[in-house]
Structure 1
Amino acid sequence: MSSTETVEHPAKRQKMEHSDKVIGTHNGTFHCDEALAVFLLRKTQAYKSADLVRTRDPAVLETCSIVVDVGGVYDEQKQRFDHHQRGFTEVFGHGFETKLSSAGLVYKHFGQEIVANRLDVPTEDPKVDTLWLKMYKEFIEAIDGNDNGVSQYPTDIRPLYRSRTDISARVGHLNPAWNQPFDSQTVDAQFLKGSALVGEEFLGRLDYYANAWLPARDLVSAALLKRTEVDASGKIILFEQFAPWKEHLFELESETAVKDGEKPIYVIYPDETGGNWRIQAVPVSPESFESRKALPEPWRGIRDDNLSKLSGVDGCIFVHASGFIGGNATKEGALKMAKLALEM
């Protein structure tokens, strides 16, 4: 038997003969992209009970219902999803330009169904597209780039340290070492471990975005729409409960085409304990330490009664030395600080 073929036990062949669908991928050393692709396919209606064959034998692959990461063909109608062939340039679209791996290909064509199934909502639900794109940006694209050898940075910047704990590396480390047994039964078993590892991490991330990230986005969207009710200038946003807001605010400003002169300057929210309130200056970008307008310089580094006397606002707790954040004992006090800061 050729070294490229997977050894199939009689029981496995019997199971295949009675299965409606079979997923095919290559045998031997495995990577994160096909491990995830197989996991994702089993989260679809069509392939949820499909068997798996790992082989490079074209005759065997021809009998499979769907083939990923091998075969030299990308054809949705034929259910063939390889990305190694000459001339393959497929990308996800929607602003993403990284060349797809088998994970990205499967996610591009089946991702909306997978997200909808996980949320138990119709694919037409607006949340589905939002999360489909979010998961590609935050999870799938890095796997595509890693597998295709796409540099994360446009120049050959030398990193100060190595990081090899990303999901692609962790799946890769499940392959047997060069001096360990590499028989097909061992490698196939390790492949299933890798598929489960990356798949469960995918689902965990999707659950977070569906159950925490998306509700926070809804809160930010509502507060952005109501900001003129807080202050006529529209430059103060008020949250009645703490939630992560920076990323959402910048995305929503862009989506709703908020003009530069009308963008929020300060955000008011209760702290995580719910006991006190915070006033925070909106940064110039989500990752920036520079604020659109920092809190007034005379307040910076001053605390408690001294700050209350200086600002004329009761209940002051602090203003950070850089002016990016401050605190007050009450919502009314924090709001008053924000209004005064706008004028100064």
Structure 2
Amino acid sequence: MKIGTHDGVFHCDEVLACFMLKQLPEYKDAEIVRSRDPEKLSTCDIVVDVGAEFDHQKKRYDHHQREFKETLSTLRPELGDKYKIKLSSAGLVYTFYGEDVLKQLAPKGHLLTSEDLRLIYKKVYENIVEEMDAIDNGVPMTDDKPRYKIRTHLSARVHRLNPEWNSQSNSNVDEIFVKAMALVSEEFLYTVNYFISVWLPARDYVKSALEERSEVHESGEIVVFKERFPWKEHLFDLEQELGLVGEIKFAIFNDKIDSWRVQAVPVEPNSFVTRKPLNKSWWGVRDDQLSKAAGIKGCIFCHSTGFIGGNTTKTGALAMAINSLNAV
């Protein structure tokens, strides 16, 4: 078996595409042929990022041709219309082979249901593959001029492995390409493992907390988690599924021994703008001074922007949430 891609300077998208393909049993031992020669590429079983052709039936996955405008949403409409970034070779391979790749890489003991697999598939795309698609296709993160540059992202680290233009080294670029796949593998495997082993198990805990929210407080706007885990994305997704969009205002969770946190739910998972902040009169106040101001025992702190606070007990943290819920 042979996987074809272009020679010369390599980029993160075809490196990731080749790595993903080599996780599949049929391509595990495949030779990677790096060339732009049509005759050599014609001998390959699958070709990525070169050849000016996209044809899934023929296993040709280039995205550079003028007429190519495919996105994950256009090729997989069942996933919804949120994916609007044009695919790179990494995105094309992930579109058609991603679920099989994830099955191969799933940690032992994790049997993914079809629903779980669909969730993980979307999250891995959103958290690593989409980035490769955007960077390779020159899609800016924002319409505004960035206030600073990030030069240490995965695509940049892969690009740095290429020999410099004035390098006197006689390095074999094909061998360096293998090193690039090893670099990409670390990031990709971490992402897959995180979403399967850490992120996914948290979903059931968030769902249970939502179902029990009325037992916590009559408003149904406060949820309690028994420990600290990644809950924000699950909360937003499950609110949508359960018809509770925007209802949850505060989440309480155990941070460590004798330490509970009360966090205001943000308007978006990565935002510090909250649906309702903690009581504004507490912002930036700590310890005994905060306990006195709030009339609640065991207060530890309230952040200066009111998005999170702490108490030594669950009861105290809940009291802080209820007080803030009713504050003007």
Q: Following the alignment from structure 1 to structure 2, what is the Cα–Cα distance between the partners of residues 152 and 321?
A: 29
Q: For residue 181 of structure 1, report the CA deviation from its aligned partner.
A: 5.5
Q: How many pairs are equivalent? A: 318
Q: In structure 2, do the counterparts of structure 1 residues 258 and 27 end up closer, same or farther at CA, with 3 Å as the change threshold?
A: same
Q: Following the alignment from structure 1 to structure 2, what is the Cα–Cα distance between the partners of residues 29 and 312?
A: 65
Alignment of 1:112 onto 2:99: yes
AA paired with 2:298?
G
Q: Following the alignment from structure 1 to structure 2, what is the Cα–Cα distance between the partners of residues 123 and 213?
A: 13
Q: For residue 160 of structure 1, report the CA deviation from its aligned partner.
A: 3.5
Alignment of 1:266 onto 2:266: no
Q: In structure 2, do the counterparts of structure 1 residues 128 and 182 end up closer, same or farther at CA, with 3 Å as the change threshold?
A: farther
2:141 to 124, 142, 152: 152
Contact 2:216/2:224, CA 8 A, preserved across alignment:
yes
2:118 to 116, 129, 139: 129
Q: Following the alignment from structure 1 to structure 2, what is the Cα–Cα distance between the partners of residues 302 and 144?
A: 45
Q: In structure 2, do the counterparts of structure 1 residues 198 and 274 end up closer, same or farther at CA, with 3 Å as the change threshold?
A: same
Q: For residue 161 of structure 1, report the CA deviation from its aligned partner.
A: 3.1
Alignment of 1:287 onto 2:262: no
Contact 1:139/1:202, CA 8 A, preserved across alignment:
yes
Match in the other structure for 1:326: 309
Q: For residue 326 of structure 1, report the CA deviation from its aligned partner.
A: 2.4
Counterparts of residues 189-268 of structure 1 (less than 5 Å): 189-260=175-246, 263-268=247-252
Contact 1:73/1:80, CA 8 A, preserved across alignment:
yes
AA paired with 1:167?
L
Q: For residue 129 of structure 1, report the CA deviation from its aligned partner.
A: 1.3
SS at match of 1:277: strand
Give percent identity, aligned residues only. 48
AA paired with 1:244?
P
Contact 1:112/1:123, CA 8 A, preserved across alignment:
no
Match in the other structure for 2:258: 275
Match in the other structure for 1:38: 18
Match in the other structure for 1:71: 51
Alignment of 1:180 onto 2:160: no
If the length of structure 2 is used for normalisation, what is the TM-score? 0.89
Q: Following the alignment from structure 1 to structure 2, what is the Cα–Cα distance between the partners of residues 75 and 59?
A: 18
Q: Following the alignment from structure 1 to structure 2, what is the Cα–Cα distance between the partners of residues 202 and 70?
A: 23
If the length of structure 1 is used for normalisation, what is the TM-score? 0.85
Alignment of 1:165 onto 2:152: yes
Q: For residue 71 of structure 1, report the CA deviation from its aligned partner.
A: 1.4
AA paired with 1:59?
E
Q: For residue 136 of structure 1, report the CA deviation from its aligned partner.
A: 0.9
Q: Following the alignment from structure 2 to structure 1, what is the Cα–Cα distance between the partners of residues 162 and 213?
A: 54
Contact 2:278/2:306, CA 8 A, preserved across alignment:
yes
Alignment of 1:28 onto 2:12: no
Q: Following the alignment from structure 1 to structure 2, what is the Cα–Cα distance between the partners of residues 275 and 303?
A: 16
Contact 1:113/1:123, CA 8 A, preserved across alignment:
no
Q: In structure 2, do the counterparts of structure 1 residues 124 and 323 end up closer, same or farther at CA, with 3 Å as the change threshold?
A: closer
Higher mean alpha-carbon deviation, 281-290 vs 303-312, is at: 303-312
1:141 to 120, 130, 133: 130
Q: Which runs of 5+ in 1 are unaligned?
A: 1-20
Q: Following the alignment from structure 2 to structure 1, what is the Cα–Cα distance between the partners of residues 249 and 271?
A: 14
Q: In structure 2, do the counterparts of structure 1 residues 27 and 227 end up closer, same or farther at CA, with 3 Å as the change threshold?
A: same
Q: For residue 123 of structure 1, report the CA deviation from its aligned partner.
A: 6.8
Q: In structure 2, do the counterparts of structure 1 residues 68 and 123 end up closer, same or farther at CA, with 3 Å as the change threshold?
A: farther
Q: For residue 305 of structure 1, report the CA deviation from its aligned partner.
A: 4.0
SS at match of 1:267: strand
AA paired with 1:270?
N
AA paired with 2:262?
I
Q: For residue 59 of structure 1, report the CA deviation from its aligned partner.
A: 1.5
Q: For residue 111 of structure 1, report the CA deviation from its aligned partner.
A: 0.4
Contact 2:298/2:316, CA 8 A, preserved across alignment:
yes
AA paired with 1:161?
Y
Contact 2:236/2:245, CA 8 A, preserved across alignment:
no
Question: How far does the alpha carbon of each residue in 1:139-192 deviate from its partner, in whole angstroms, 9 at most, with x for none?
Answer: 11111111122222235x1x3333221111111111111123587x71111111
Q: For residue 241 of structure 1, report the CA deviation from its aligned partner.
A: 0.7
Contact 2:279/2:324, CA 8 A, preserved across alignment:
yes
